[in-house]
Amino acid sequence: MRFYGEALRQGKSKRTFDSQILRHISPTMHSAPPAIQTPSARMPFQVDFQQAPLLVIWEVTRACALACRHCRASAINQRHPEELTLREGKALLDEIQAMGTPIVVLTGGDPIQRDDLEELIAHGKSLGLRMGTIPAGTPRLTRERLASLREAGVDQVAFSIDAATAERHDAFRQVPGSFDLTLQGARWARELGIPLQINTVFSRNNLNEFEEIADLVASLDIVFWEVFFLVPTGRGTELQGCNAEETEALFAKLYTRSKTAPYVIKVTEAQHYRRYILQQNQQDRGRALANRGDATEVHAQGGRPAIGMSSKVVNAGSGFCFVDHTGDICPSGFLPEVCGNVRTHSITSVYRDQSLFTALRDPRRLEGKCGRCEFKAACGGSRSRAHAVHGNPFAEETTCVLIR
Ligand code: SF4
């Protein structure tokens, strides 16, 4: 494979590069498998999104000591008594694997508030799943706990950084010391040899800090930077997201960084970054190539696994599925329409057949300028943002500069 040879020329190990392929096409937290395994761990671009999501995010708990201003989950202090149990969680992982999904991310709240997190990771690994998790920067995060996660087989950990200074980060997280604890956790992860991802949510709140945040993230020996564009859900409704022009300007900065970054930059909840890249490729390499409409192929001409494109666009309910702490199944954590519950429904049946899920995979349902757009198959806009802004998941993307 072209990227593999490129990675070897750059001195990356096979393990690192395999993980980069997976992260390159994944919508959020990703994993770094020691080897490609089958059947569940087959190359994700072979996943038929009508049959299975590329990625399932399971919110193992909503408990968290932080109170981040953008928190989708509006996380709470205490664990909920009706959280999925270890037994239920293992059964869920069994079904996810059988469905054909290769990647599972255990999120929160703060997933390390669950003492059985390692058992869940180990069970997922025994099934051949790629397992990631996203600890919060709190005093619970110790080197010993990270070592324990590594022993359980975790493929990758992600930490969240949304500001370049402790003062601003802690103000955002609403807990003093979180910034330093997060950076300490990141250093420990690298010392332990755990591939490291950083997640950053951009909104009006931190847009003017982009360069400082990007420089900080780049200094952390990461393999992946996942850049989220705020969706106004949960506590995030109190923040202002970027408008179309600000979003486009941020795309340009990310695209410039992605050309030289030795890590993958992935954009989440801004599917129109795919449109932006197609247009850039159109300018850079000629209209004939871009007109083929295959973002991955266009991207591949650049020879760098650093733009973070998926072979197919991943969107709520299309390549993506979310399970909340009590088992509710939603198209995304940012599109919290409950379509079933794993205690009473098969996640496979919900993903494949539930009416909202099937509609979200049908580009003919798109409305407004997204419905008329030539990029709708390659992009489609954030269905989560459409739902949050318009109350209609098929409405047009409000943060896209295209006027059609
Ligand atoms: S109009 Fe909609 S489908 Fe077209 S590029 Fe913008 S967000 Fe994507």
Token digits of residue 295: 């973002």
Distance from the CA of 87 to the center of ligand 1, in angstroms? 42
Which atom of ligand 1 is the closest one to the Cα of 272? 8
Q: Report the relative pairing of strands 224-229 and 264-268 from DSSP bridges.
A: parallel
**Domain spans in the chain, listed from the N-terminal domain onward:** 2-343
Distance from the CA of 110 to the center of ligand 1, in angstroms? 34
Beta bridge partners of 230: none
Q: Is 193 exposed, middle or buried, given 0-12, 13-18 or 19+ CB atoms closer than 10 A?
A: exposed
Mutate to test the pocket of ligand 1, among 274, 402, 404 (most ligand atoms within 8 A of CB): 402
Helices 143-152 and 117-126, axial angle in degrees (round to 10): 20
Residues in Cβ contact with 250 at an 8 Å cutoff, skipping those fewer than 6 apart = 202, 207, 210, 227, 229, 242
Distance from the CA of 318 to the center of ligand 1, in angstroms? 16
Strands ordered across the beta sheet of 264-268: 264-268, 224-229, 196-202, 156-160, 130-133, 103-107, 55-59, 320-323, 328-330, 340-341
**pLDDT value, residue 4:** 27
- Write b or e for each residue in 105-117: b if 16 or more Cβ atoms lie within 10 A of its Cβ, otherwise e: bbbbbbbbbbeeb
Mutate to test the pocket of ligand 1, among 396, 398, 399, 401 (most ligand atoms within 8 A of CB): 396
**pLDDT value, residue 27:** 34
Which atom of ligand 1 is the closest one to the Cα of 404? 1
> For every one of its 404 residues, what pLDDT tens digit does the chain have, with 9 covering 90 and above?
222 223 323 333 333 323 332 333 233 343 322 222 223 333 445 799 999 999 999 999 998 876 666 666 655 677 788 999 999 999 999 999 999 999 999 998 899 999 999 999 999 999 999 999 999 988 899 999 999 999 999 999 999 999 999 998 888 777 788 899 999 999 999 999 999 999 999 999 899 999 999 999 999 999 999 999 999 887 667 778 999 999 999 999 999 999 999 999 999 999 999 999 988 888 876 555 544 544 443 343 333 333 234 578 999 999 999 999 999 999 999 999 999 999 999 999 999 999 999 999 999 999 999 999 999 999 999 999 999 999 999 999 999 999 86
Mutate to test the pocket of ligand 1, among 376, 390, 398, 403 (most ligand atoms within 8 A of CB): 376
Token digits of residue 111: 């997933």
Cβ–Cβ < 8 Å for 24, 304: no
- Ligand 1 contacts (CB < 6 A) are 272, 275, 369-370, 373, 375-376, 379-381, 396-397, 400, 402
Cβ–Cβ < 8 Å for 78, 28: no
The rounded distance, in Å, linking the Cα atoms of 237 and 330 is 19
Distance from the CA of 30 to the center of ligand 1, in angstroms? 26
**pLDDT value, residue 186:** 96
Distance from the CA of 276 to the center of ligand 1, in angstroms? 10
Q: Nearest CA to 24 among 228, 213, 225, 199?
A: 225
- How many other C-beta atoms are found inside a 10 Å radius of the C-beta of residue 267? 27
Which atom of ligand 1 is the closest one to the Cα of 370? 2
The rounded distance, in Å, linking the Cα atoms of 165 and 188 is 20
Distance from the CA of 213 to the center of ligand 1, in angstroms? 27
Distance from the CA of 385 to the center of ligand 1, in angstroms? 12
Mutate to test the pocket of ligand 1, among 245, 275, 276 (most ligand atoms within 8 A of CB): 275
Please give the torsion angle defined by the CA atoms of residues 60, 266, 232 and 65, in that order, rounded to the nearest 10 degrees. Answer: 40
Residues in Cβ contact with 102 at an 8 Å cutoff, skipping those fewer than 6 apart = 22, 40, 41, 42, 44, 47, 54, 55, 129, 130
Q: Nearest CA to 207 among 399, 75, 383, 28?
A: 399
Distance from the CA of 295 to the center of ligand 1, in angstroms? 14
**pLDDT value, residue 31:** 30
The rounded distance, in Å, linking the Cα atoms of 197 and 156 is 7
Q: Please state which CATH number belongs to domain 2-343.
A: 3.20.20.70
Residue with CA nearest ligand 1 atom 6: 400
Q: Nearest CA to 26 among 2, 5, 57?
A: 57
Distance from the CA of 268 to the center of ligand 1, in angstroms? 14
The rounded distance, in Å, linking the Cα atoms of 354 and 161 is 35
